[in-house]
Amino acid sequence: MHISRRGVLVGAAVGGGLLVAWTLRPRSFPTPLEAGNGEYAFDAWLKIATDGVVTVAVPQLEMGQGVSTLLPQIVAVELGADWRQVAVEPAPPSGAYANVPLAAKWSALWAPALSGSIDDSTDILATRYAQLSRFSATADGTALAAYERPCRLAAASARAVLTAEAAERWGVPIEECQARSGFITHDGKEARFAELVEGAAAREAPSPPPLKPEYAYETPIPGQADAPTDYPRLDLPSKVDGTHLFAGDVRLPDMVYAAIKHGPLEKAELVEFDSSAVAGNDRVVGVVEGKRWLAAVATDWWSADQAVEAMKPRFDVQGLANSDSVPELLQEAARSGKAYRIARRGDNDDALGEPDIARRYSIAPAVHAPLETATATARYADGRLELWIASQAPERAREAAAKAIGLSIEDVILYPMPAGGSFDRRLEHDHAIEVALIAKEISKDQPRPVQLVWSRWQEQLAGIPRTPAAALVWAKLRDGGNGFIEGLSFRIATPPTALESGQRLFENKTRWAARNAVSGKADAMAVEGAMPPYGIADVAVDHVPTQISHSTARMRGNAHGYTAFFVESFIDETAAMFGREPLSYRIEMLGQDVRLVSCLQRAARLAEWDGGRDQSGQGLACHKMTFGDAEGRIACIATAKRDEGGVRVSKISAAVDIGRIVNLDIARQQIEGGLIFGLSLALGSATSYNGGLPTNQRLAQLDLPILANSPEIAVDFIDSEQDPFDPGELGAAVCAPAIANALFSATGLRFRRLPLFSEGF
């Protein structure tokens, strides 16, 4: 029996025998930041150097969302630093950077036995698990929820000792000194952080440190999309001039390159290849056989890729992924499969009975298609492995690599790298396992680093798509003929994707083992977002877990990416049936949510909404997301038409309420990027599977938006002092239904499948 530390902790918690000792034991962690010459570390979050540079640790994966600016901004504001002297350092895995809110939300994934008993980020079990397992995953927009307060506390501690050092030198009360722009000041006197840091580092910080009364906050100005920010992105200059280093940019002395060829999905075993095809090729330095893949290693990647193709590997396959029958399977499951009640509002069963309106909707599998394919570099020598990789869950990747080559986790060093896009693709760590195996094998005679890069075809083949889904939605209407909904029911058939992903992430199971482990289990996260924001008295959301022929994974927006499509398409259809204007119809049912009503009204003004009638080509959708006490709301109006080239979306207008905005520029980028990502899900990004192979093999086959056909985008934010909500997934969820509703306005045709115009689904 395999016994893991996680298993012992969870078992102890369930049994109660060790629970008190485990939860009450003090937790302290060595400072993960290494101070260089002239640098002094303050807590786990920042260093200050004698030249005045403030370096902030960032434990989250930078994959374009701006976290490497957001957390340093919080530190700079609390510390009183000069933004021009702020730098960033990727933080290694450590219990000091525990993502407790995400651990609490994902408790059903790492502690199924405790499912339902861990309900918020203050839970002691979630805290201890996240700390001891060094869980710092980047997902679900948790950067602010997890790290804003620790960053502020660390910065406040540093500010306190810097102020104390200056006050003692000047012989003045600490309370009369201020920190701003990298100086401590008092009545005309000023001292740079650089002058004070050595003495300040020797002082004991007050506990608790004195936090400033104001948070990091930027006020949105309606219509001022190009307003300058005081905190421009720290990674922008290097990304513009090309010097920013991603995982694929790692270069080490004597490095060699690996290309790989995987077997068809789902369960394939390598049985044969022609090694003589590369005999005598002086560029090829080795061939590595995996159980389900073959890799060639050469002095350059192109030679390695040509070599692995030349060897023509053959695979014995079982359970080939085929999607021909998946749409019908999901539709039948939605109609009559065993369902589990996930959420319920109200208690009037009659309102959920015989429907007045019923509709079916379908979602095809969507692929992530990140710009940077799976890439990792490894160096194996003297029983230790060094790993350069972009990972959303670095400690899980580190554990998986260690297990693959029989090392203890302490013998694996992971250097976190930024990712060229992810969309949750880098929660998977299959390439970390592969590069570890390749590096160990290739270093038997001569230790050397090796970089593994998947080709675009291998990214398509071995990547795991977002789950397909089917929904049956029906409503009971109030008497009177105005279309007001009194009861609403959702039966959503889809694999238990979150649980399946959790088995791979936390248990390191193979794809088919993960699917089998959760087969038939209800998954609340698979239907997240289906509970509508409207004031409908009786609502039921049911999950029908359905097993299909291939694995499924998380994607930007996750379940919201299809549940928002179900909800907003159905609401729009109901409004049209009764001749109701879509905006006023929604507002009528949103009396209890004035914040979302404000978003709808602001979006209507921004888009010059004309009611969406008379083939105007305007379509409306809105959505609400919640994480803990934070709530995000968005209303979107798309202008679209169908022409000889397919669908043309000319403009997208969105009004957004994400509470307190830390960095307005980054928030706008996230909404705009989410809307473009949602546009890709509406018009493309999908694939089907035939004989274990995806039918779409290249980016050009995915119908992704390009600059030439990207719409004009207008975004306004609503000023709010509520808890901040991450904006990264709002646009991805709301865009597709807005476009579908716009096409109904333009053509009179109702589209109930994603991507639009897709066949089979």
pLDDT digits (tens, 9 = 90+) for 244-259: 999 999 999 999 999 9
Model pLDDT, residue 29: 78
Q: Is the pLDDT confidence value at 25 over 70?
A: no
Residues 539 and 649 in one domain: yes
Residues 380 and 505 in one domain: no
At 326-373, the pLDDT tens digits run 999 999 999 999 999 999 999 988 888 889 999 999 999 999 999 999
Helix then strand then coil, % of the chain, to nearest 5: 35, 25, 40
Model pLDDT, residue 246: 97
At 588-629, the pLDDT tens digits run 999 899 999 999 999 999 999 998 777 889 999 999 999 999
The mean per-residue pLDDT over the stretch 582-586 comes to 97
Q: Is 298 inside any structural domain?
A: yes
Q: How far is CA 170 from CA 51, 157, 166, 341, 639, in A?
A: 22, 20, 6, 67, 64
Model pLDDT, residue 615: 82
Q: Is 33 inside any structural domain?
A: yes
At 681-733, the pLDDT tens digits run 999 999 999 999 999 989 999 999 998 889 999 999 999 999 999 999 999 99
Q: Is 228 inside any structural domain?
A: no
Model pLDDT, residue 47: 97
Angle at 707 between CA 701 and CA 711, to 5 degrees: 105
Q: Is 218 inside any structural domain?
A: no
Q: Is the pLDDT confidence value at 402 over 70?
A: yes
Residues 723 and 575 in one domain: yes
Residues 292 and 432 in one domain: yes
Average pLDDT, the chain: 93
Residues 177 and 86 in one domain: yes
Cβ-based burial of 406 (10 A; exposed 0-12, middle 13-18, buried ≥19): exposed
Last residue in a domain, options 453, 484, 516? 453
Residues 279 and 345 in one domain: no
pLDDT band of residue 12 (cuts 50, 70, 90) is very low
At 432-491, the pLDDT tens digits run 999 999 999 999 989 999 999 999 999 999 999 999 999 999 999 988 788 999 999 999
Last residue in a domain, options 201, 235, 270? 201
Residues 747 and 658 in one domain: yes
Residues 661 and 698 in one domain: yes
Residues making up the chain, counted from first to last: 761
Q: Is the pLDDT confidence value at 116 over 80?
A: no
d(CA 748, CA 569): 14
Model pLDDT, residue 15: 38
At 133-157, the pLDDT tens digits run 999 999 999 999 999 999 999 999 9
Q: Is the pLDDT confidence value at 63 over 70?
A: yes
Model pLDDT, residue 759: 57
Residues 417 and 396 in one domain: yes
Here the tokens at position 4 are 């893991």
Domain hosting 68: range is: 29-201
CB of 560 within 8 A of CB of 729? Answer: yes
Range scoring the smallest mean pLDDT among 166-175, 228-237, 394-403: 228-237
Q: Is 240 inside any structural domain?
A: no
Secondary structure in 3-state letters for 6-69: HHHHHHHHHHCCCHHHHHHCCCCCCCCCCCCCCEEEECCCEEEECCCCEEEEECCCCCCCCHHH
Query: DSSP alpha helices (H): ranges in 377-455?
Result: 394-404, 430-442
Secondary structure in 3-state letters for 491-513: EEEECCHHHHHHHHHHHCCCHHH
pLDDT > 70: percent of the chain: 95
Tally of domains in the chain = 3
d(CA 212, CA 157): 11
Last residue in a domain, options 400, 418, 453? 453
Q: Is 20 inside any structural domain?
A: no
Model pLDDT, residue 229: 84
DSSP 314-349: EEEEES----TTHHHHHHHHHHHS--EEEEEE---G
Full-model pTM: 0.94
Q: Return the exposure string of 373-405: e unless at least 16 CB atoms fall within 10 Å of the residue's CB, then b.
A: bbbbbbbbeeeebbbbbbbbbbbbbbbbbbebb
Model pLDDT, residue 121: 65
Residues 182 and 58 in one domain: yes
CB of 679 within 8 A of CB of 685? Answer: no
CATH number for the domain that contains residue 182: 3.30.365.10
CA dihedral (49, 52, 54, 55) in degrees, to 10, reads: -50
Q: Is 11 inside any structural domain?
A: no
Q: Return the exposure string of 689-701: e unless at least 16 CB atoms fall within 10 Å of the residue's CB, then b.
A: beebbbebeeeee
Q: Is the pLDDT confidence value at 13 over 70?
A: no
Residues 343 and 379 in one domain: no
Model pLDDT, residue 8: 38
Model pLDDT, residue 225: 67
Q: Is 746 inside any structural domain?
A: yes
Model pLDDT, residue 609: 96
Q: Determine the 3-state secondary structure of 310 from DSSP.
A: helix
pLDDT band of residue 27 (cuts 50, 70, 90) is low
Q: How far is CA 756 from CA 211, 646, 690, 733, 749, in A?
A: 51, 10, 21, 15, 11
Residues 653 and 703 in one domain: yes
